[in-house]
């Protein structure tokens, strides 16, 4: 299929993966960074919530145990980029390790911390209150932790600029797919 290996690791013992590394220069599927996830969620707008119009209620997302379970993908309207369920239903793993990063002006080369103990989860899930569904909010969990409230979404670069994958700014996001 012509795709590169994106992730490498030294060993797996149970649910622990040692020395997991992501090669962002590879052409292959991977988890989005926290910033990429936020840009995709906002759909090119300055929305607080990743819904069709930036508002949140139970007609736009599954949250606060309203239905007491996950729903089928596409049960709610997509955001302006056509992505479904970016708010609520399932929290989504990102590639980023949790950190105390501050907002940086130029996010075009930001690939997240190189290591850590917890990964960032975005979007909120079906048990969360509406405030946890804001595009800017996150939670964290240790890799290997599994439950019925967390899933994942993948991204794929469509091009490169200066040896970097293209999809790290709102204008470049249109050059990639976040599924």
How does pLDDT run across 123-167, given as a tens digit for each residue?
Answer: 999 999 999 999 999 999 988 888 999 999 888 876 555 554 444
Banded model confidence at residue 110, pLDDT cuts 50, 70, 90: low
Positive or negative CA dihedral for 140, 145, 150, 152?
positive
Query: What are the tokens at 149?
Result: 């409230």
Determine the Cα–Cα distance for residues 59 and 75; give it in Å rounded to an integer. 9
Residues with Cβ < 8 Å from 4, sequence gap 6 or more?
23, 26, 27, 28
Report the chain's mean pLDDT, rounded to a whole number: 82
**Nearest 10 degrees: Cα torsion 42, 167, 153, 84:** 40
pLDDT by residue (tens digit) across 39-87?
Answer: 889 988 889 999 999 999 999 999 999 999 999 989 999 999 889 999 9
Q: What is the pLDDT of residue 179?
A: 46
């Amino acid at each position: 299929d012509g795709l590169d290996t994106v992730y490498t690791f030294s060993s797996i013992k149970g649910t622990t993966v040692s020395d997991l590394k992501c090669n962002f220069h590879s052409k292959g599927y991977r988890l989005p960074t926290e910033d990429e996830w936020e840009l995709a969620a906002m759909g090119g707008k300055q929305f607080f919530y990743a819904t069709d119009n930036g508002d949140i209620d139970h007609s736009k997302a599954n949250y606060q145990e309203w239905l007491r379970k996950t729903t089928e993908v596409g049960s709610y309207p997509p955001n302006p980029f056509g992505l479904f369920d970016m708010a609520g239903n399932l929290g989504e793993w990102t590639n980023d390790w949790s950190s105390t990063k501050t907002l940086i002006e130029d996010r075009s080369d930001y690939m997240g911390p190189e290591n850590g103990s917890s990964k960032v989860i975005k979007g909120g899930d079906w048990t969360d209150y509406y405030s946890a569904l804001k595009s800017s909010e996150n939670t964290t969990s240790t890799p290997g932790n599994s439950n019925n409230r967390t899933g994942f979404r993948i991204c794929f670069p469509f091009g490169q600029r200066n040896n970097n994958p293209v999809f790290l700014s709102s204008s470049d996001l249109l050059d990639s797919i976040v599924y």
